[in-house]
Structure 1
Amino acid sequence: MDRLILADTERREIKALLNVSMDIDLNETKDFELSVHRSAWDDTYQYGGYIFKPGTEIGGRIGRLNTDTALETVKVCGLTWRGMLNRKVIEPPAGQDYRRISGELHEVMKELIEPEFEGLFLVSEADTGVTVKNHKFERYTDLLSGIIKMLKSVKYKLRITYQEESQRAGYVLVEAVPIIDYSSQIELSSDSGLDFQLNDIRNGYNHMIVAGKGELAERNVFHLYAWPDGSIRKTPYYTGIDERVYVYENTSTETEEVEEKAREEFAELMNRQEFTMNTSDLQMEVGIGDILGGRDYLTGVYMAKPVENIIYTTDAYGTMNVEYQLEGED
């Protein structure tokens, strides 16, 4: 592993971290844990200080120290950069139901991110050439989820790297970049030396009755229907023996948001494909949001899934293991 750096609360570099083990979960728990041997401990590990590996997403801000005199190590823990974005909220403007935004991707990201972080997070100045128009964020969504969902709507993803500076403190560079669909370039199979599990579900629900607020005949009720292409529509396709009905009740969500929540729930219940891959031996560099695909030549089943999380672990000698988790994988 290249240098893992410890910096103070002003992001001034203190030292390279040697002989420490690390576990950093970028996008699920969104935190990191360093194990420092008690004999190597000193007061340079500060609350509000930083760790980072320059040029990568590996890094975050120290927020917790865990010490146990019965153990030989001290745990230094904190949030990843995504974890910090996750702790901010996109609020609707006063008097409005939703926050809406329009413009070039980096311009709108700059408006959302930079005021929250006092120079720590900087959005790229490059023009992506891609815009959103009147994009509506969910009410009080966290900043990370809101931005990822916005970018995904135009087939982009979030890229985060820590940038070193020679004359001033470094910063976290945030960029919007296109999602790479590796499944259209490289077909992974058992011939690649990778094991994976494919689950092709054809007996899911295809008719959802949505029951929202209200009582009895006055209750807000409408219907959603799954179609063979995976879309959700207001008109039915499956009937008779092939129809499978699910009742979704939601009396706590505002009426105008019920359909959005119902569609999200429906997508988890209808016909779908589940794909889990042992990616520990994956010999390619992929980012969160990129798409991997695999085929079982025996059954002919093929499917593709986006990478949802990356976990890095190192031992005290700096040997790194990388685990890629796909969407829907525990």
Structure 2
Amino acid sequence: MYDLIYTDPAHKEQGALDGYALTMTFGDVDNNFECVFGTQNAPPLAGGCLMYAEDTEYGGIVRGKETSTTDGTTAFTGSTWHGIMNEHVICPPKGSTHLRLRGDAHDALRLIIEACGLGKWFKVAEGESGIRVSADIRYLAAYDAAVSMLAKAGAKLVIKWKRDRAELSAVEAVNHDQMNSDNANFTIKEGFRPPNRMVLLGTGEMLDRITSEIFIDEEGKVSKNQHYFGLDEVMVKFEDTNADLEELEAKGAEKLIELQDVNEIDVSSELVDDYDVGDYVTVTNLDAGQTATATVTSKTVTLIDGEPTFSCEIGSASALFDLNKEGKEGGVV
């Protein structure tokens, strides 16, 4: 049971809401919410009002209002904390091509918040996370950039309202492995040969164009050495007309690793209340002897007068969970 607090447009706390149904999504989706009341019981919410449940990620800012005479409801819509971050694009510092992030993840998150000018509404957990990150960000939405940066280090972004601001923290991703064909319904789709050779095309034209090739082996390591030949070789092309050789190979390696996610899971289960975006889910078909691991890409929470229910979208299955968990990045060995 959670108390959903709301503020006025100046962000001064007004009290707790009741008689509502709040649905919010976060992850690789719209990162928004809808809070529905009976019109006669609708609170005086307006654009800019905040709502939040203490020590949870449930909340955001009101952006719109809709009333309906059909069912006698008033719905307030808005952006979750995740959505607010994605409303801000990270621009490179003056005189730089990228915002370079190196070191502890919490220090990197502080630089992201600073670059977006969101320090009044967001903060980062005190101390170090113990998670090392490396990222070069250029004109990316802040939430997407933070999630991507942490995913490469086998970590996830956790956002919780803490007293006066939404607090960001970097936490090691969890692999939930309790799902099997006895307690969940799912479909596993396997791919047996992902791309393993990539032709890279960078800046320049014709004979002056920067080109390179990279390869990936069975352990997920990217290098200049070819490992698969003949029918086992699967080639793809990667193009960035603004990239020099170093940047081209780094981006290409990141993409080649991403392309190894050739399996898919479609899952339906009640065992998702403690899942976070960025966590992993391992499912096992006991009858077929088939196992796959996939990433939680989005989560939907519904609060009805403080009582939550949950659902998750599970993305592409990954054969590189151990590789990502070790914090290896897109780069050529």
User: Is the shorter-chain TM-score for this pair beyond 0.5, marking a shared fold?
Assistant: yes
Kept in 2, the 8 Å contact 1:205–1:271? The answer is no
Kept in 2, the 8 Å contact 1:67–1:75? The answer is yes
Unaligned regions of 5+ residues in structure 1, if any?
165-169
Provide the rounded CA distance (Å) in 1 between the counterparts of 2:237 and 2:292.
28
Q: Which SS does the other structure have where 2:109 is aligned?
A: helix
Equivalent position amino acid for 1:39 in 2: Q
Equivalent position amino acid for 2:181 in 1: S
Matching of residues 1-330 of structure 1 within 5 Å: 1-27=1-27, 28-42=29-43, 44-113=44-113, 116-132=117-133, 135-164=134-163, 170-183=164-177, 187-191=178-182, 193-251=183-241, 253-256=242-245, 257-267=247-257, 269-270=259-260, 272-279=262-269, 281-282=270-271, 285-315=274-304, 320-328=308-316
Offset, 1:18: 1.8
Equivalent position amino acid for 1:77 in 2: T
Kept in 1, the 8 Å contact 2:129–2:169? The answer is no
Give CA-to-partner distance per residue, 1:39-67, whole Å, 9 cap, x none: 2235x201100111222100000111223
TM value normalised by structure 1: 0.83
Q: Which SS does the other structure have where 1:259 is aligned?
A: helix
The CA RMSD measured in Å over matched residues stands at: 2.7
Offset, 1:319: 5.1
Provide the rounded CA distance (Å) in 2 between the counterparts of 1:318 and 1:106.
31
Provide the rounded CA distance (Å) in 2 between the counterparts of 1:172 and 1:242.
49
Q: Structure 1 residues 4, 271: CA separation in 2 closer, same or farther (over 3 Å shift)?
A: closer
Offset, 1:15: 3.0
Provide the rounded CA distance (Å) in 1 between the counterparts of 2:195 and 2:185.
29
Q: Structure 1 residues 233, 277: CA separation in 2 closer, same or farther (over 3 Å shift)?
A: farther
Unaligned regions of 5+ residues in structure 2, if any?
318-333
Offset, 1:222: 2.0
Q: Structure 1 residues 122, 250: CA separation in 2 closer, same or farther (over 3 Å shift)?
A: closer
Offset, 1:35: 1.6
Provide the rounded CA distance (Å) in 2 between the counterparts of 1:107 and 1:243.
41
Equivalent position amino acid for 1:277 in 2: V
Larger CA deviation: 22-31 vs 135-144? 135-144
Kept in 2, the 8 Å contact 1:30–1:82? The answer is yes
Provide the rounded CA distance (Å) in 2 between the counterparts of 1:313 and 1:126.
32
Provide the rounded CA distance (Å) in 2 between the counterparts of 1:260 and 1:66.
46
Offset, 1:33: 0.8
Name the counterpart of 1:167: none
Q: Which of the two has greater strand per residue?
A: 2
Larger CA deviation: 301-310 vs 65-74? 65-74
Aligned residue pair count: 314
User: Sequence identity, in percent?
Assistant: 25
Larger CA deviation: 80-89 vs 123-132? 123-132
Provide the rounded CA distance (Å) in 2 between the counterparts of 1:32 and 1:161.
16
TM value normalised by structure 2: 0.83
Provide the rounded CA distance (Å) in 2 between the counterparts of 1:235 and 1:148.
30
Larger CA deviation: 70-79 vs 148-157? 148-157
Equivalent position amino acid for 1:320 in 2: P
Provide the rounded CA distance (Å) in 1 between the counterparts of 2:233 and 2:153.
33
Offset, 1:269: 4.5
Moved over 6 A (4+): none
Provide the rounded CA distance (Å) in 2 between the counterparts of 1:318 and 1:149.
31
Kept in 1, the 8 Å contact 2:2–2:307? The answer is no
Give CA-to-partner distance per residue, 1:147-192, whole Å, 9 cap, x none: 223333443322111123xxxxx32122222222333xxx42112x
Kept in 1, the 8 Å contact 2:7–2:13? The answer is yes
Q: Structure 1 residues 106, 57: CA separation in 2 closer, same or farther (over 3 Å shift)?
A: same
